[in-house]
Structures are given as C-alpha cells and as structure tokens.
Amino acid sequence: MQRKLTIRIVIMICLFMLTNNSLIVYSAPSHTILQKYYQQQKNLQYPYLTNAPNNKAQNKINQALKKHIIQSNKEYEELKKLEESIKNDPHCKESNPTCDYEYLTTYKVLYDDNNQLSIIFYDYRFTGGAHGSTLVTTYNFDVKSGEQYTLNDFIKHEKKYDEVTNFIKEYAKKHPEIFYSDIEDWKDFTVSSTTNFYLAKDGIYLIFQQYEVGPYVSGTPTVFIPKSVYQ
C-alpha cells in the first residue's frame, strides 16, 4: 500500500512538472536543474536552477540564464519578421526551403562539481544557404555565491594568456584535421578574457566559435588547458 502511494506521488509530481513547462534534466546532491521553454516555445530551451541551499545565489544564477534566453527570443522574433518580409518574393512563393528560416536555442550542463557549475548555450539560426550557423556562449558560476566566473579568475596574468595562446597554437598543429593548418590563419589569434570557456576537474576547456580556428565541418572546437599551463 505504501509503495503504491509513493509511486502515485512520484507520477503526480512528474505530471505537475510537465504541465508547468518544466522537466528535470539534471540533478546534483545540492541542487536540481530543470529544463524550461521560454514562453512555452519548444525551440527556446533554457536551464533553471532549483533546490539550491542559497536562494540568493540561486536567483542570481537564474537571472543570468534568463537574460540569455530573453535575448535569444528577441533574435528569434527578428528572424520571424525577416522571414515574413520575404514571403512574397517569387522564389519563396515556389515553396523554396531556403525561405523557411529557423532559430533554435538549446543548452548543456558541462560541469557541476565542488559548487562550480558550467553551462553552455547553443544558438542556432538558419537563414537560407547550404547550412545554418551556431553561436556558443558559456556561463560559469560559483553555486554558493551565485557569482559568475570570468576567464581572468583562472588566467590571472597577461604572460599566462600568452602561454595559453601558444599552447593552443601548438595543439592545433598536431590536429590539422580539426584546426586551420595555414599559419596565416593564426596570425591574429589570441586568447583573451572574452574567450568562451568551461570548467573541468584538472583545468579548463576553451571553446571557439564556428570558423574561428577551423572550418565549418569542425563545428565549435574545444581545447583542454591543464592547470599547469595557466597557474
């Protein structure tokens, strides 16, 4: 009897969460991350932190994540207006698929350990042509305080930035199947405080935009930087 009651309660909770536009996608010992859809739009996904021990910190994290999806929605609305404006073009009237624009925001939890949390957003748009494009944005948080880490919190000196830059260039030489092989493509490359990154147990990963360090087929390449390189 008790077991049946427990099962019913679990089912009711799941149904409640689904009807409230939320779905548990990640659970850690100290908190849970729900998947939400902005204004019930399935193409605009974003994470929502709950059950964290510090409500103030939790709210700060959620505000930062909500800010991103609000901006994504603005981009989506602008894309819909642009799509509507070309519907009367002759080639669009012929049901040309290149006139069917698309915008999609998804995310992934990349790291969640020792009160440190890394989340990446993927903002994909298609506006015709051979393929769409994806923009990546990473967010790194101290779960206890809600503060957002910057790369300067880990690479604290300009000299270390230079060492990380050189490390990536050397890594790229060893992996020409992923990265540009022409030295001219790397002439102006530098790692800066605005480079996207996410946390790892023994270092950090740097992640680059499409075409930034490699061809389209390479997507958004990542390079692991051991602590020994930047500390």
CA distance 42 to 76: 12
What pLDDT was estimated at residue 211?
A: 95
- pTM value is 0.86
Residue pair 184/227 in contact (Cβ under 8 Å)? The answer is: no
pLDDT at 19: 38
Assigned architecture for domain 151-231: Alpha-Beta Complex (3.90)
Please report the pLDDT score of residue 128 as a whole number: 84
Who's near 61: CB < 8 A, 6+ residues apart?
49, 52, 117, 141, 143, 146
CB 190: neighbour CB atoms within 10 A? 12
Instruction: Name the token pair of 87.
Output: 């519907």
Q: Does domain 25-149 have CATH number 3.30.565.40?
A: yes
Structure tokens of 129?
A: 């042509």
pLDDT tens track, the chain, 231 positions: 444 434 343 433 443 444 346 666 667 778 999 999 999 999 999 999 999 999 999 999 999 999 999 999 999 999 999 999 988 888 787 767 778 899 999 999 999 999 999 999 999 999 987 889 999 999 999 999 999 999 999 999 999 999 999 999 999 999 999 999 987 889 899 999 999 999 999 999 999 999 999 999 999 999 999 999 999
Q: Which tokens belong to 79? A: 């894309």
pLDDT at 16: 40
CA dist., res. 95 & res. 161, Å (int): 50
Helix, strand, or coil here: 105? strand
The residues, ordered by sequence, that sit 6+ positions from 123 with a Cβ below 8 Å of its Cβ are 72, 75, 103, 104, 105, 134, 135, 136, 137
| Cα–Cα distance for residue pair 186/180, rounded to 1 Å | 8
CA distance 194 to 221: 16
Beta strands in the chain (DSSP E): 22-28, 31-37, 45-50, 102-113, 116-126, 133-142, 197-200, 203-207, 222-226
Predicted local confidence at residue 10, as pLDDT: 40
Residues of the chain with CATH 3.90.640.20: 151-231
Residue 50 is which amino acid? T
Q: Which two tokens stand for residue 213?
A: 């360090």
Q: Long-range pairs for 33-37 at CB < 8 Å and ≥24 separation?
A: 33/109, 33/112
CATH 3.30.565.40 boundaries in the chain: 25-149
